[in-house]
């Protein structure tokens, strides 16, 4: 619905404070001043706004649940229904609001609870875009707080200031569905960027080549773009998983009716990968409440939608032992190609950027619109160049490098939010594609728009090995020598050692060499899209093989779970004898799926005192159970599992994770 030109916010203001008592006072009915709420919570993740189990719902019921995972100090002060009952219209927090998963359930839950405006010092890209798509207003202007308290009318133009023309029009019209309806009817003319000739980065070249000039005539491609340009780009692949497909289908049905035709269904994919093992980890209390049935209904709705529209669904295995694979793993192994645009409903969609394509996460409304238009909107991002000098030594992996990057003040403070993160340098040239994918995948943790590696002979080798397909690179598939980069970070990879991220945030990086205290582990988890690739399993196997030869096994009291990212990887691991080696030392090998990474399968903790060392990408509170999760590389996870405490793998590894 089109927003009025002047807005009044009739309702209370909720400050998400670091102090749990301040939050509780507001929930009890007290209105407080901003000064009394400081410090505000920074870096609120979507896992905290809507924990994974809440996302089994995808309708107005979500309005009962916003902020249930919000941790203030050591307390979780929110309870079901309190935000809606409190009559809040505005929600206020600090830096990097909405980091983590791209789940549109988070702003939708806020909107369903009555929130009309979100104010924060800074926003993560996907979260803010999801808000705009839904018609939920956002601002970084804290001066609005007192104006709203005084009952002032706020001009809509203030919420459009600084936005590119397309985004401003989406905000004005009240969301992406009404905007696209007007666009397809010719009532809104989308301006096409007109840039003078300029050197471009690889990301800019891909965007320019995919720029939609005239949607009705499939006219695609312009010569130049520059950071800040707003446009729509044609997507070569559009995919969603079972967390999102049902909500997107319901949004599509509500906006366009039952019979809306989809654009080129052969280029749309769906995946059942997140919740295949949920029944192993859900508490009996939640099962009795019917929540497992709610979660299982997502599978049924997705299957029906895909069957109706002829969409290829990578689903569960017929014997119930797992899924065909995690969406990101399969996109890299089977689909993505250099120079393409790939969009998916998950923040780790940049995984496929390791193959030299522009792969980025979008929200529920974005994908629902992309089903019918074939394109998605983009504001051309600036590019952060990360130069990786030298070479990673044995026992040190791309995951260690990423945990080092995430701990840098520039990234920790959110200065890379919304940027393309392009990895260059000698170390990246020597990495396998699987290792590159760790870096592009976790560009999501950086807060970047995407991660990208220019394609080379290693890219072609990977595609030939995994698909049996011969491709050729085109001359344009690299950045120009004099392309403009917003910032450059340089890393001496020779100097890096094993890293961990302490519980609470992937940015809590600690070098193993700086850790003096022994930390015992209860659970070791090797898996996820980030840590379940072929090279990840190989690296962990090398540790396990050496330990097995020395007569070592997983000690009593430690559970070591191994879960491949796809059936393609699992079959290869079986053929190579890796699976047998894991089982021989006492590891529990699971079928392919997301599992513990999304708090949905074996490997999650059961109590707050448990310690997990994990190869997943995030360790936000509650992400993988109530315990304390340390992030590490796959080899480090294996070494820690065998030692029963956090330790490195350098003594066990014979080779570095570089291509031959």
Closest CA to 198 of 486, 484, 487: 484
pLDDT digits (tens, 9 = 90+) for 572-614: 999 999 999 999 999 999 999 998 998 999 999 999 999 999 9
Q: How far apart are the first and last CA of the chain?
A: 57
Return the pLDDT at 217: 61
Query: Is 90 exceeded by the pLDDT of residue 376?
Result: yes
- 506 has pLDDT over 80: yes
Residue 205 has pLDDT above 80, yes or no: yes
Q: Are 547 and 585 in contact (CB under 8 A)?
A: yes
- Using 50, 70 and 90 to split pLDDT, how confident is the model at 655? very low
Q: Check residue 650 and give its pLDDT.
A: 80
Give the mean pLDDT of the chain: 94
What's residue 307's pLDDT? 97
- Give the mean pLDDT of 434-445: 97
Q: Summarize the confidence of residues 444-453 as an average pLDDT.
A: 96
Instruction: Write out pLDDT tens, residues 320-365.
Output: 888 999 999 999 999 999 999 999 999 999 999 999 999 999 999 9
Q: Please tell me the predicted confidence (pLDDT) of residue 654.
A: 52
Contact 136, 128 (CB under 8 A): no
Question: Tokens representing 362?
Answer: 């979008």
% of the chain at pLDDT higher than 90 = 88
Cα–Cα dist 6/1, whole Å: 14
pLDDT tens for 38-68 read: 999 999 999 999 998 899 999 999 999 999 9
CA-based nearest residue to 506, from 428, 435, 635, 408: 408
Q: Spell out the domains of the chain, with CATH numbers in brackets.
A: 6-178 (3.20.19.10), 237-332 (no CATH), 499-643 (3.30.499.10)
Per-residue confidence (pLDDT) for residue 215, from 0 to 100: 64
In the predicted structure, residue 660 carries a pLDDT above the cut 60: no
Mean pLDDT value of segment 305-331: 95
- Do 23 and 12 meet the contact criterion of CB atoms below 8 Å apart? no
| Closest C-alpha among 363, 353, 446, 341 to residue 403 | 446
Given a cut of 60, whether residue 260 has pLDDT beyond it is: yes
Cis peptide before 624 (omega within 30 of 0): no
SS3 content of the chain, % helix, strand, coil (to 5): 40, 20, 45
Report the pLDDT value the prediction gives residue 130, as an integer from 0 to 100: 95
| Per-residue pLDDT band at 658 (split at 50, 70, 90) | very low
Q: For position 657, what pLDDT does the model report?
A: 40
Q: Tokens 């030392």 sit at which residue?
A: 585
DSSP result, 376-431: EEEEPPPEEEEEEES-PPTT--HHHHHHHHHTSHHHHTTTTTT-EEEEESHHHHHB
pLDDT tens digits for 148-204? 999 999 999 999 999 999 999 999 999 999 999 998 888 988 888 888 999 999 999
What are the tens digits of pLDDT across the range 84-107? 999 999 999 999 999 988 899 999
- Per-residue pLDDT of 605-642, as tens digits, reads 999 999 999 999 999 988 999 999 999 999 999 999 99
- Kindly state the percentage of the chain with pLDDT values over 70: 98
Alpha carbons 633 and 635: distance in angstroms, whole number: 6
């Amino acid at each position: 619905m089109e927003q009025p030109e002047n807005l009044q916010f009739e309702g209370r203001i909720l400050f998400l404070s670091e102090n749990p008592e301040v939050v509780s006072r507001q929930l009890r009915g007290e209105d407080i001043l901003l000064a009394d709420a400081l410090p505000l919570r920074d870096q609120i993740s979507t896992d905290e706004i809507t924990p994974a189990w809440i996302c089994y719902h995808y309708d107005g019921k979500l309005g009962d649940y916003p902020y249930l995972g919000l941790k203030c100090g050591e307390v979780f002060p929110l309870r079901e229904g309190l935000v809606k009952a409190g009559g809040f219209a505005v929600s206020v927090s600090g830096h990097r609001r909405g980091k983590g998963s791209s789940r549109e359930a988070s702003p939708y839950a806020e909107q369903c609870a009555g929130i009309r405006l979100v104010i924060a010092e800074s926003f993560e890209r996907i979260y803010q875009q999801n808000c705009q798509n839904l018609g939920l207003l956002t601002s970084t202007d804290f001066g609005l707080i007192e104006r709203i308290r005084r009952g002032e009318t706020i001009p809509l133009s203030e919420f459009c200031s600084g936005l590119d023309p397309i985004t401003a029009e989406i905000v004005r019209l009240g969301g992406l569905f009404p905007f696209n309806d007007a666009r397809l009817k010719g009532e809104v003319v989308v301006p096409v960027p007109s840039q003078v000739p300029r050197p471009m980065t690889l990301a800019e070249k891909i965007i320019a080549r995919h720029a939609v000039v005239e949607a009705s005539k499939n006219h695609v491609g312009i010569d130049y773009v520059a950071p800040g340009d707003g446009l729509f780009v044609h997507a070569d692949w559009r995919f969603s998983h079972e967390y999102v497909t049902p909500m997107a289908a319901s949004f599509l049905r509500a906006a366009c009716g039952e019979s809306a035709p989809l654009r080129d269904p052969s280029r749309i994919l769906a995946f059942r990968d997140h919740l295949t093992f949920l029944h192993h980890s859900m508490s009996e209390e939640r099962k009795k409440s019917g929540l497992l049935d709610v979660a299982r209904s997502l599978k049924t709705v997705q299957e029906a939608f895909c069957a109706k529209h002829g969409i290829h669904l990578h689903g569960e295995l017929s014997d119930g032992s797992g899924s065909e694979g995690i969406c990101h793993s399969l996109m890299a192994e089977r689909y993505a190609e250099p120079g393409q645009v790939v969009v998916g409903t998950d923040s780790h969609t940049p995984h496929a950027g390791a193959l030299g394509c522009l792969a980025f996460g979008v929200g529920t409304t974005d994908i629902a619109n992309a089903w019918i238009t074939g394109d998605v909107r983009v504001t051309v991002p600036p590019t952060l160049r990360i130069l990786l000098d030298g070479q990673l030594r044995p026992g040190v992996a791309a995951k260690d490098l990423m945990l080092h990057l995430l701990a840098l003040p520039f990234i920790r403070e959110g200065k890379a939010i919304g940027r393309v993160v392009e990895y260059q340098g000698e170390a990246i040239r020597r990495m396998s594609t699987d290792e590159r994918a760790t870096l592009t995948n976790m560009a999501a943790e950086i807060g970047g728009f995407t991660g990208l590696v220019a394609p080379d002979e290693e890219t072609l080798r990977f595609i030939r090995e995994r698909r049996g397909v011969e491709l050729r690179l085109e001359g344009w598939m690299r950045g120009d020598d004099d392309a403009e980069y917003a910032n450059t970070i340089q890393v001496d990879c020779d100097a890096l050692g094993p890293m961990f991220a302490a519980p609470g945030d992937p940015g809590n990086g600690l070098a193993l060499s700086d850790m003096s205290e022994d930390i015992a582990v209860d659970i070791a988890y090797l898996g996820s899209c980030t840590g379940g690739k072929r090279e990840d399993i190989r690296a962990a196997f090398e540790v396990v093989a050496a330990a097995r030869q020395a007569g070592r096994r997983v000690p009593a009291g430690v559970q070591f779970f191994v879960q491949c990212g796809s059936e393609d990887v699992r079959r290869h691991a079986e053929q190579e004898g890796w699976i047998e080696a894991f089982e021989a030392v006492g590891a529990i090998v699971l079928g392919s799926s997301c599992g513990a990474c999304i708090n949905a399968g074996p490997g999650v903790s059961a109590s707050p005192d448990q310690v997990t060392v994990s190869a997943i990408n995030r360790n936000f509170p509650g992400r993988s159970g109530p315990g304390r999760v340390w992030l590490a590389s796959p080899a480090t996870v294996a070494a820690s599992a065998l030692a029963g405490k956090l330790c490195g793998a350098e003594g066990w590894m014979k080779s570095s994770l570089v291509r031959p």
